[in-house]
Amino acid sequence: MGKTFAEKILGKKAGKPVVPGEIVEVKPDIAMSHDNTAAISKTFKEIGVARIDDPDRHVIVLDHCVPAANDKFAQNHKDIRAFVQEQGIKHFYDINRGICHQVLPEEGFALPGYLMVGSDSHTTTYGAFGALATGIGRSEMAVIFATGKIWLRVPETMKIIVKGALPQGVSSKDVMLKIMGDLSADGGLYKSVWFTGPAIDAMSVASRMVLTNMAVEFGAKNGYMEPDAKTLAFLKDRARAPFEVVKSDADAEFESVVEFDVSDLEPMIACPHTVDNVKPIGAVKGTKVDQIFFGSCTNARIEDFEIVAGVLKGKKVHPSCRMIVIPASQPIFLEALAKGYIQILAEAGATIVNSGCGPCMGNHEGILAPGERVLSTSNRNFKGRFGCKDAEVYLSSPLIAAVSALTGEISDFRDLL
């Protein structure tokens, strides 16, 4: 019997053949942390080890509240900068670089065949590049600081085959919302989820990142695609080290195989307060919104800016709602600026904010008031996600967010464009 992608990578790291359900001790290739590094460093020091096992293995990105919203966040950043200097961590990105899950691929850390962990649930994003990438806890990261190692359970594999060709204007975000709505928020619990099929092959690298980013939203341990020519082209001038593409064997055993045909897929909306409360747009069309959020590690890349700017060019954001725009990284901001997208959005009345996570988890730069609604291109809509447990969060694609910004209510681009 052949081996799956996850079994191969974890087996290589463990130095022996492994099977699903087995607990293995492994050394990740890359370990990422962000603003939570200050808390992790305190736990690390309690372990009693003076020096990090391998500083070059670690990447630290400040992104969750940048610039600092208050003195508490400022002290947190100060503590991290001191720890980085003390430990000789070279791969440190301060408040001017962007969201960690965009920064690591841009900087060439997310590579095929790599085992990557991060003290953030959306570390699964890096699976779009053929890495086995998963989120871990702060205490687990502290142990990696001290020993370089972690225990992981070898996951079973779910194969999701996405067939057909997407209708014009329907995106990978709609595909992922459809998958979660059908499979539920725990439908992929602790599974290694392989996204494959003609619709995946046709997607850009940025579009694929949406699916792996949100794989954790239906419980997956990791999500991934097999690298192809598009992946390798993205990595050509970025990869920081040699890598090996790892694929499941033809006779590998999968726990389940699920097929989706997206040929007739409609725009999808995740409604409050769970990511699997997904409805076709016709069911929620006309719902008034107070804010549009175009940003996050899910959808704020240059292809998304092109779409949103194309909708808003020469038009105005509806006076009854506000629009917050946060590019996923500084390079994306600069490219959007050079292409005129930033000016188009600013002239339309959007508020452009520096790259970072901002309001997504309720830190700053777009917090909601009680009773307000936001339509967001992000990945979560739990109560309190935009800083207020008495507000409502709806999730959509950038295109739906853009057309809704013009009307002040959830709108279908097929009715307006």
Domain spans of the chain, in order of start = 5-13+21-237+252-259, 268-416
What is d(CA 357, CA 213) in angstroms, rounded to the nearest whole number?
14
Residues whose CB is less than 8 angstroms from the CB of residue 307 and which lie 6 or more positions away in sequence, other chains included? 398, 399, 402
DSSP 256: E
Cα four-point dihedral sign 340, 345, 349, 350: negative
Strand-pair partners of 376: 293, 395
Q: Collapsing DSSP states into helix, strand and coil, what is residue 147?
A: helix
CATH class of 5-13+21-237+252-259: alpha beta
Query: Do the domains 5-13+21-237+252-259 and 268-416 sit in the same CATH topology, yes or no?
Result: yes
What is d(CA 140, CA 300) in angstroms, rounded to the nearest whole number?
30
Strand-pair partners of 59: 32
- Summarised one tens digit per residue, pLDDT across range 305-330 is 999 999 999 999 999 999 999 999 99
What is d(CA 404, CA 289) in angstroms, rounded to the nearest whole number?
8
Q: Where are the alpha helices (H) located in 67-110, listed in sequence order?
A: 71-87, 100-106
Can you give the pLDDT at residue 417? 63
Q: Which amino acid is at 269?
A: I
Architecture of the domain made up of 268-416: 2-Layer Sandwich (3.30)
- Summarised one tens digit per residue, pLDDT across range 24-52 is 999 999 999 999 999 999 999 999 999 99
Can you give the pLDDT at residue 361? 87
The pair phi, psi for residue 346, each rounded to 5°, is: -65, -45
- Stated as kind and residue range, the H or E segment containing 302 is helix 302-312
| Cβ atoms < 10 Å from Cβ of 369 | 12
Long-range contacts at 246-251 (CB < 8 A, ≥ 24 apart): 246/5, 246/8, 246/9, 246/112, 246/113, 246/130, 247/5, 248/2, 248/3, 248/4, 248/5, 248/8, 248/157, 248/194, 249/2, 249/3, 249/4, 250/2, 251/1, 251/2
Place of tokens 């359970």: 153
What is d(CA 320, CA 222) in angstroms, rounded to the nearest whole number?
40
For the chain, 417 residues long, the average pLDDT of each consecutive 10-residue run is 96 97 98 97 95 97 97 97 98 97 98 98 98 97 97 98 97 98 94 98 98 97 98 97 96 97 98 97 98 97 98 98 98 98 98 95 93 97 93 98 98 88
The answer to whether 77 touches 68, Cβ cutoff 8 Å, is yes
What is d(CA 86, CA 83) in angstroms, rounded to the nearest whole number?
5
Can you give the pLDDT at residue 416? 79
What is d(CA 118, CA 213) in angstroms, rounded to the nearest whole number?
13
Is the bond leading into 273 cis (omega within 30 degrees of zero)? yes
Given the DSSP bridges, would you call strands 192-196 and 256-261 parallel, antiparallel or unpaired? unpaired
Q: Collapsing DSSP states into helix, strand and coil, what is residue 195?
A: strand
What is d(CA 294, CA 376) in angstroms, rounded to the nearest whole number?
6
Structure tokens at 80: 């991290």
Q: Where are the alpha helices (H) located in 48-197, listed in sequence order?
A: 71-87, 100-106, 138-147, 172-183
The pair phi, psi for residue 243, each rounded to 5°, is: -145, 165
Q: What percent of the chain has pLDDT over 90?
A: 98
Our separate counts of H helices and E strands in the chain read: 14, 18
